[in-house]
Amino acid sequence: MHAETSAPAAIIEAVNISKSFGPVPVLFSVSMDVRPGEVHALIGENGAGKSTFMKILSGFHEPTSGQIRLDGESTSLPPNGAAEKLGVVLIHQELNLAEQLTVEENVFLGRELKKNGFLDRAAMRAAVQKHLDEIGLDILPTDRISSLTIAQKQMVEIVKAVSRNARILIMDEPTAVLTEEETQVFFRQVEKLKTSGVGIVFVSHKLNEVKTIADRVTVLRDGQWIDTRPSQDLTPDMMAQMMVGRELSDLYPPMEEADVDAEVVLAVDGLCTAEVNNVSFRLRKGEILGFSGLIGAGRTAVFEAICGLLPIESGTINLFGRDVGPMTVAEARDAGLAYLTKDRKEKGLLLNKKMQPNLTLFALPKFVKNFAIDRKAEEEALKRAIRRFDVRTRDPDITVGKLSGGNQQKLLLAKIMESDPKIVVIDEPTRGIDVGTKQQIYHFIAALAAEGVSVVVISSEMPEIIGICHRIIVMREGHITGVLTGDHINENEIMRYAAGLKREELH
């Protein structure tokens, strides 16, 4: 404490923040402060509570206990982004810009300068130009947002924040969508912001970047504050170490040995798509193969391409020993390959329909008899699925949107399994569902594999992927960077491959 008295006083300080959603605690007494002119990185695994904490720091959530101090005074931040007026700005990962308006219109949106009742465009343009010059961004105030790159859009968000006299900028994975060069440009601009005295909270999974840009690092794990340290005292490996390190409980089913000599059911060679670069792998009968990596590493794109949802640029796919060209989703399904999306609300289920039409939609040709849908068979399928997947609902006529997340996920799983796939790809099997349902889904996946179905699990939750998979492939920026089996599977290794600290020479 005394050693830090020389440091400038913090602009914002979170003291012993705890937060529960209903009965579920997410944060336990987390503290963090941000000083003027520093970049303070916040790191932790998915589900560690970073997002919640950021939202509390910016007033979008109210803490259950603990306090936020602004310039040393305890305050309660106004909700819904109104904290911007106090100089605290959260920049969301999905940017908040009106695509069809120009840069200047976006920057001044909602507080336009006026003269005699009309917009004072000249004054606004001059003000925006000044900010753009300061930050060193080479675009015009009159450029339309839709014509900018993602990196430029991000900088417009920052200009917007700065023009509103932001003193604290909270950025949620700003570099996740940037290329390496764009990241470099972004960092130069962050440096400039620092010199003007803005305090920056930087959330990232890319530990090398954290090491480069951050002055201090705070680590969260399972909603707990682990440590805050100057970044020069840390290596990326140490950060990874601090982020993980937890015991695996009986949440996961006992692992059955994978038969390494089982036949290969899916062989992919040199697959390239817009987001995927030269991906090759083998999947064996009865194997549970994990795909790990950061969000945006291209894992989903690999399987959406194989299953006919995205165009393939090049590469070969061999399914059950037969070379197949690009397939439609229906052809993949008929060949015994099914993909279960991670986005169950937007791509998985018809939320305004009942369970029955949802359940049979994927495998509907199976239910057609004499050109008509066999509704009795549909009803029986629903009864079977409710039993098999333990979908819990009082009323089978309920619209799916009203089911809990866990029940929706079970229904989606049931929907995909109606087609009796031999290979099933499950993308984020347990996103946003409670731990009890998670356990059921893990056991279901294990049972499937034991029956000889091959399962691919794409997951950003490391404990889960380690807990259920026989073998793990790690991807980064569209490439496979490592393959882990048996005793080599641990969170440290995966994190190092995923963050680009280590790379396996493949083939």
Contact residues: other proteins, CB under 8 A: 309, 328-330, 332-333, 339, 341, 346-353, 357, 361-362, 364-365, 367-368, 371-373, 395, 397-399, 402, 415, 419
- Minimum CB separation of residue 366 from other proteins in Å reads 10
What is the Cα–Cα distance from 30 to 57, expressed in whole angstroms? 11
What is the Cα–Cα distance from 314 to 426, expressed in whole angstroms? 24
| Six token digits for residue 366 | 């199976």
Nearer to other proteins, 36 or 326 (CB): 326
- Minimum CB separation of residue 441 from other proteins in Å reads 19
Nearer to other proteins, 67 or 328 (CB): 328
Nearer to other proteins, 102 or 358 (CB): 358
CB 44 within 8 A of CB 51: no
- Minimum CB separation of residue 343 from other proteins in Å reads 8
What is the Cα–Cα distance from 164 to 83, expressed in whole angstroms? 11
CB 501 within 8 A of CB 237: yes
What is the Cα–Cα distance from 339 to 360, expressed in whole angstroms? 15
CB 293 within 8 A of CB 475: yes
- Minimum CB separation of residue 303 from other proteins in Å reads 12
- Minimum CB separation of residue 371 from other proteins in Å reads 6
Nearer to other proteins, 322 or 394 (CB): 394
- Minimum CB separation of residue 358 from other proteins in Å reads 9
β-bridge pairing 368-369 and 337-340 = unpaired
What is the Cα–Cα distance from 210 to 204, expressed in whole angstroms? 7
- Minimum CB separation of residue 340 from other proteins in Å reads 9
- Minimum CB separation of residue 397 from other proteins in Å reads 7
Nearer to other proteins, 203 or 338 (CB): 338
Nearer to other proteins, 53 or 339 (CB): 339
Residues constituting the chain: 507
- Enter the DSSP assignment of 354: B
Tell me the backbone φ, ψ of residue 344, rounded to 5 degrees.
Answer: -65, -25
Nearer to other proteins, 43 or 310 (CB): 310
Nearer to other proteins, 11 or 332 (CB): 332
Nearer to other proteins, 395 or 451 (CB): 395
| Signed CA dihedral, 167, 173, 177, 182: sign only | positive
- Minimum CB separation of residue 165 from other proteins in Å reads 40
> For residue 170, is it left (φ>0), alpha (ψ between -120 and 50) or beta?
beta
At residue 232's C-alpha, the angle toward residues 227 and 237, to 5°, is 65
| Six token digits for residue 232 | 């020069």
Nearer to other proteins, 95 or 364 (CB): 364
CB 412 within 8 A of CB 355: no
- Minimum CB separation of residue 236 from other proteins in Å reads 37
Nearer to other proteins, 287 or 418 (CB): 418
Give the SS3 label for residue 270: strand
DSSP string, 186-222: HHHHHHHHHHTT-EEEEE-S-HHHHHHH-SEEEEEET
- Minimum CB separation of residue 375 from other proteins in Å reads 8
Nearer to other proteins, 82 or 398 (CB): 398
Nearer to other proteins, 174 or 421 (CB): 421
- Minimum CB separation of residue 277 from other proteins in Å reads 24
Alpha-carbon dihedral 129, 133, 135, 138, rounded to 10 degrees: 90
- Minimum CB separation of residue 362 from other proteins in Å reads 5
What is the Cα–Cα distance from 29 to 409, expressed in whole angstroms? 32
Q: Which DSSP helix (H) or strand (E) runs through 426? A: strand 423-427
| Residue 110 to residues 107, 121, 130, 161, 383, Cα–Cα distance (Å) | 9, 14, 20, 13, 53
| 244-271: burial string, b at 16+ Cβ within 10 Å, e else | beeeeeeebbeeeebeeeeeebbbbeeb
